[in-house]
Structure 1
Amino acid sequence: MRFVILLVILALLVIGLFFGHSGDQQAAFLLTVISTSATLGGIAFALYGWYSSKEIPDLVEKRVQEHMNEMEKRMEKRLLAQQEAMQKVIAAYGMTGDPDRKIALLRQALEVDPSVYNGYVALGYVYWHEKGDLIAAEECFRKDLDYHPDNYQAACDLAALYAEQKEWTAALSWMKEAVRIRPESAKDFDNDPRFDALRANLREDYERVLGR
C-alpha cells in the first residue's frame, strides 16, 4: 500500500516535469503538483490507516484461530495415540503363553507412543521373566526412566535385576535412586523377596541405603 502511494507521488512529479511550462509558470506548476501530491499522499495514508484499523485485527484474529485449530488437531492426534498405545500395553499384560507375541504387541504400542506409561517396564518384564534376556530387560527399564525419570518402579526393577545377578553395588545404587524418587518406597523393599539375598549378604549397607 505504501509503495503504491509513493508511485503515485512520483508519477505526478514526473508529469509536472514533462508538461510544465518554462520559467515562473513551470515553478508555479511544480508547486501545484507538489501540493496536490502531498494532499493526495495524506489522503492515501489516511485511507491506509483506516484500512489497517479495520483489516489488520481481523487478519490477526484469523491467524490466531488457525494456530489454535492446528494445536487442537495435534492434541487430539496425540491423545488418540496415547489411548491406542495404552490399550495395547493392557492387552499385553492380559496375554498368556507366547512371550514373542507379547513383545510384538508391546513394541507396536511403543511405536505408537514411546512414552506410554509402563510400556518399557512391561516389555522389560517379558524379557526378564519369560525370555531370560537380562540385557534387554535392563535396556527397557533404563529406557523407561528416560521417558519417566520419576518412575520409581523402573528404578526398583533395575535394583532387583542387579540383585538377582549378585551385583550388589549396582543394586544398592538403584535402591537409593528409588528411595530418592519416592521416599515412602523404602518399606517396600523389606517385603520384596527379590532382595532377600542382598539383605542377607549386606544387611548394614541395605539399611544405610534405606536411610535407617
Structure 2
Amino acid sequence: MRYLIVLAVLALLVVGLFFGHSADQQAAFLLTVVSASATLGGIAFALYGWYSSKEIPDLVEKRVQERMNEMEKRLEKRLLAGQEAEQKVIAAYGVTGDPDRKIALLRQALEVDPSVYNGYVALGYVYWYEKGDLVAAEECFRKDLEHHPDNYQAACDLAALYAEQQEWTAALSWMKEAVRNRPESAKDFDNDPRFDALRSNRSEDYEKVLGR
C-alpha cells in the first residue's frame, strides 16, 4: 500500500515539473501534490489501523495456538516415553535368575527416558548384588543423582557401597547427604545391616552424622 502511494506521488511530481508552463504553475502544483500526499498518507494510515485491528489479533492468536499445539505434542511424547520406560523397569523387577536380561530391560528403559523413576537405582542393584560389579553400581547411583539430585535412596546406596569397601569417610559423607535430603531417614540407617561395620568402626562419627 505505501509503495503505491509513493509511486503515485512521484508520478504526480514528474508530471507537474515537466508539464508546468511557469514557475508559479509548478509551485502551485507542488503544493497540490504535498496536500494530496498528506491526504493519501492519512488514508493509508487509517487503512493500516483498520487492517491491524482486524488481522494482527488473528495472526497472534494463530501463532499462540500453533505454539500450544507444539507444546502439547512434546508433552504427549514425553508422557508416552515415561510410561514405556516405567513398564520396562517393572518388567525388569519380574525377571528372576537372569541378571543380564534385567540389565538389558533397564538399559532400554533408560534409553527411552533417562529420568525414569528408580531406573538407575534398580540397575545399580543388579550390578552390585547380582553381578558383583561395584564400579558399575556406583556409576548408576551417581547417574541417578544427576537426574534426581534430592534422591535420598541413591545417596544412601552410595553410602552403603562405600561402607562395604570400608571407605568410611566417603560412606559418612554420603550418609550426611542422604540425611540432608530426607532428615527423617536418620533412623533408617540403624536398621540397615549394610552399615553394621561402619557403626562398629566409626561409631562416634556415625552418631554425629545422624545428629545425635
Shared topology, TM-score over 0.5? yes
How does 1:23-102 map onto structure 2 within 5 Å? Answer: 23-102=23-102
Q: Residues 4 and 80 from structure 1, CA distance in 2 versus in 1: closer, same or farther, beyond 3 angstroms?
A: farther
For residue 97 of structure 2, give the secondary structure of its aligned residue in structure 1: coil
Greater mean deviation of Cα atoms: 86-95 or 4-13: 4-13
How many residue pairs get aligned? The number is: 212
Q: Distance in 1 between matches of 2:115 and 2:4?
A: 55
Q: Does 1:211 align with 2:211?
A: yes
| TM superposition shift of 1:3 | 4.1
Q: Distance in 1 between matches of 2:49 and 2:192?
A: 75
Report runs of 4+ in structure 1 exceeding 4 Å deviation: none
Q: Distance in 1 between matches of 2:45 and 2:88?
A: 63
| TM superposition shift of 1:173 | 0.8
Q: Distance in 1 between matches of 2:158 and 2:94?
A: 23
For residue 96 of structure 1, give the secondary structure of its aligned residue in structure 2: coil
Q: Tell me the amino acid that sits aligned with residue 166 of structure 2.
A: K
Q: Residues 47 and 154 from structure 1, CA distance in 2 versus in 1: closer, same or farther, beyond 3 angstroms?
A: same
Q: Distance in 2 between matches of 1:74 and 1:66?
A: 12
How does 1:149-164 map onto structure 2 within 5 Å? Answer: 149-164=149-164
Q: Which runs of 5+ in 1 are unaligned?
A: none
Q: Residues 46 and 135 from structure 1, CA distance in 2 versus in 1: closer, same or farther, beyond 3 angstroms?
A: same
Give aligned-pair identity as a percent.
89
TM-score, normalising length: structure 1: 0.95
| TM superposition shift of 1:64 | 0.7
Q: Tell me the amino acid that sits aligned with residue 194 of structure 2.
A: R
Q: Which runs of 5+ in 2 are unaligned?
A: none
TM-score, normalising length: structure 2: 0.95
Q: Name the Cα RMSD after superposition.
A: 1.4
Residue equivalent to 1:188? 188
Q: Residues 71 and 188 from structure 1, CA distance in 2 versus in 1: closer, same or farther, beyond 3 angstroms?
A: same
Q: Distance in 1 between matches of 2:122 and 2:174?
A: 18
Confirm or deny: 8 A CA contact 2:138 2:161 kept in the other structure: yes
Cα deviation code 1:19-44 (max 9, x no counterpart): 33332222222222222222122111
